[in-house]
Amino acid sequence: MSNLSDDDLLRELGVEYEVAKTRSYTPREEHIIAGFEEIQQFVKKHGRTPQHGEENDIFERLYAVRLDRLRAQEDCRTLLTPLNSQGLLSEEETKQIDPVTILDDDELLAELEGMLATSDITELRHVRSQVEKRAAEEIANREKCEDFARFKPLFEQVENELKSGDRETRPFGKDASINKGNFFILGGQLAYVAEIGDEFKAPNGHTDARLRVIYSNGTESNLLLRSLQRALYKDEAGRRLTDPIGGGLFSADWEENDIQSGTIYVLRSFSDHPFVSEHRELIHKIGVTGGKVEARIANAAHDATYLLADVEVVASYKLASINRTKLEGIFHRIFAPAQLDITINDRFGHPVRPKEWFLVPLNVIDEAVSRIQDGSIINNVVYDPTIARLVERL
């Protein structure tokens, strides 16, 4: 008996059959189905539909936007009905679509997509394409900064300014502006906005721009301004760094360490310590007080802070609405190269290294105070002991 094909065998047996026709899909329909299947996988994995909201993962929010669009378009519902085993496209769910929510998440998508020009929200484009992946991943992707040597001194300077009180950190939010030269703390690292590209209109109509952001670990990223804003909002530890010197030093806004009126005082010691005696005309203590200077130094002869000796006030400067901690920090930074390194024993015989004493001429202290008052003492000015002058540090 000759070998019969399956079709011949069915005919011999008298079985009637009809060859099922395989439906072909357009590229758009294939994308719609692929996108819906990803949503179904999410629901299967998490046991819920994807949700909108700042607290959720970016891709969950993308799925939520996509599902809203599928529900809103009749042709999509018709196409996907045979696959709707989880009831995601039910009529009740479709009625609950909030257009405002869709718009908000569409803004999110626009920020992730950056330069994509299409803005027709009736067209389903947001399946998990490579473009979409790259757009979202740019938020986190960083690469080595080849010219980091240019920026490293800036980060070192900022860290010193934070320690000295010249700069402060503020929670990101009240001021969401981002400008060239700004410093932020993002993901536990200092971030510096080195460049801002030309502004352009994002698909949602908002203004945006490309940034070059340098990080303190020697990496950089090329991301959108609005993406950086969003990352700082979502980072609970995200902070803005105030500008140096400014940031409330002479301000009408009161803070914990502000004093209504105060005095910068410069003291000279009558100590008989050999080094102090030899350089008495150059050794000065700089301090700030909100009370009377006389009361502050009344017990100097019994206080190691004052070198266990009487002192004289050689200069004083009255100021109003100042932040004591910041001001003292500025003086310490400026005159750090000339800080007196001396150890004496207190009245109990314990070694003490007094602070706030500097080997610097009185006229230079006077210049520093004047320049702090008029704001001209920029953040890279320091005292150079070799020439006894204030200089700009390169």
Beta bridge partner(s), residue 41: none
pLDDT in tens, 158-194: 888 787 777 788 888 767 788 888 899 988 889 999 9
| pTM of the predicted model as reported, rounded to 2 decimal places | 0.39
Give me the pLDDT at residue 31, please.
79
Write down the domain spans for the chain: 27-137, 143-241, 258-392
pLDDT in tens, 268-278: 999 999 999 99
Residues 149-162 as b/e (b if ≥16 CB within 10 A, e otherwise) read: eebeebbebbeebb
pLDDT in tens, 28-40: 888 788 888 889 9
Residue 8 has pLDDT above 50, yes or no: yes
- Provide the CA 334 distance to its chain's centre, in angstroms: 27
Query: Is residue 282 very low, low, confident or very high in pLDDT (cuts 50, 70, 90)?
Result: very high
- For 362, phi then psi, to 5°, come to -65, -35
Task: Round to whole Å and give the CA distance between 158 and 241.
Answer: 9
Give me the pLDDT at residue 23, please.
65
Q: Which residue has the higher pLDDT, 362 or 331?
A: 362
Extract the runs of DSSP E, i.e. beta strands, from the chain.
143-144, 169-171, 183-186, 189-196, 200-201, 207-208, 210-215, 219-224, 239-241, 258-269, 283-289, 311-323, 344-345, 351-352, 357-359, 381-384, 389-392
Q: Which residue has the higher pLDDT, 212 or 248?
A: 212
Q: Which residue has the higher pLDDT, 24 or 228?
A: 228
- For 213, phi then psi, to 5°, come to -115, 125
Query: Is residue 64 very low, low, confident or very high in pLDDT (cuts 50, 70, 90)?
Result: confident
Residue 105 has pLDDT above 50, yes or no: no
Q: Give the CATH number of domain 143-241.
A: 2.30.30.30
Share of the chain above pLDDT 70, in %: 71
Tokens standing for residue 22? 């395989």
Which of 64-68, 175-179, 203-207, 331-335 bottoms out in mean pLDDT, i.e. has the lowest?
203-207
- Where do we find the tokens 């230079």? 364
Task: Round to whole Å and give the CA distance between 125 and 81.
Answer: 20
Task: Round to whole Å and give the CA distance between 9 and 369.
Answer: 106
Tokens standing for residue 9? 């065998």
How many residues appear in the chain? 394
Extract the runs of DSSP E, i.e. beta strands, from 81-150.
143-144
Residue 325 has pLDDT above 60, yes or no: yes
DSSP 8-state symbol, 62? H
Residue 332 has pLDDT above 80, yes or no: yes
Give me the pLDDT at residue 118, please.
37
Give me the pLDDT at residue 30, please.
82
Residue 211 has pLDDT above 70, yes or no: yes
The tally of CA atoms less than 13 A away on the side-chain side of residue 127 is 16
The tally of CA atoms less than 13 A away on the side-chain side of residue 293 is 19
pLDDT in tens, 118-131: 333 334 444 444 43
pLDDT in tens, 133-158: 444 444 457 889 999 998 988 898 88
Strand arrangement of the beta sheet that strand 210-215 belongs to: 143-144, 219-224, 210-215, 189-196, 183-186, 239-241, 169-171
Give me the pLDDT at residue 100, please.
38
- Where do we find the tokens 């003291």? 267
